[in-house]
Amino acid sequence: ISSHSPDSVPPSSSGASSSLTDLGPIQKPGQSRSAPGNQLPTPAVTNSKDVLAEAIEAANQGDFGKATERCRQYLETTPQNAAAYCLLGLILQSQQQFDEARALYERALYLDPDHTESLTHLMLDAQRLGDRVAAENYARRLRRLQEKLLATEQISGGSRS
């Protein structure tokens, strides 16, 4: 689930990174990352990145209950992740839970004042509510952030890696 495009979050089985966080290769519970000759059983422990990957996959498949559960589970162990709060906000917003979604976007901004996606959703929510002043303030912050990013890109030679 993403405000950018339905294709912006790859399925977890691809092992690709998402725009929300670098998920790295997805490891199934019980799958060993050790050398092939290792004969010791691997405990079925799910790491937090797997949980977030499951949340993204569930959201993309429309299973918002599972996606919500997995996001909350992830945030119990990684409460400083602004992108995860934003993802949970998106999931709840898709279920018309606007107040809780807005609180999650605000939490993401508290953790990362330059979190563009949360700023964008807060601006759109303010517009939805008819709060023109708040919407303009969020839009102004977004413009300043964009100018800052462009200036940084120009300083670094405009190359992206």
Q: Considering the chain, what is the average pLDDT of its residues?
A: 77
Q: Which distant-in-sequence residues (6+ apart) come within 8 Å of 161 by Cβ?
A: none
Is the pLDDT at 34 greater than 90, yes or no?
A: no
User: Is residue 139 helix, strand or coil?
Assistant: helix
pLDDT > 90 in the chain, percent: 61
Q: Which segment, 1-10, 32-41, 56-65, is predicted with the most confidence on average?
A: 56-65
Residue 7 pLDDT = 36
pLDDT tier for residue 46 given thresholds of 50, 70 and 90? low
pTM exceeding 0.85? no
Produce one character per residue of 119-151: b if its CB has 16 or more CB atoms within 10 Å, e if not.
Answer: bbbbbbbbeeeeeeeebeebbebbeeeeeeeee
Would you give the DSSP letter of residue 114? T
User: If you average pLDDT over residues 87-106, what whole number do you get?
Assistant: 96
Q: Which distant-in-sequence residues (6+ apart) come within 8 Å of 120 by Cβ?
A: 3, 138, 142
Residue 48 pLDDT = 75
Residue 62 pLDDT = 94
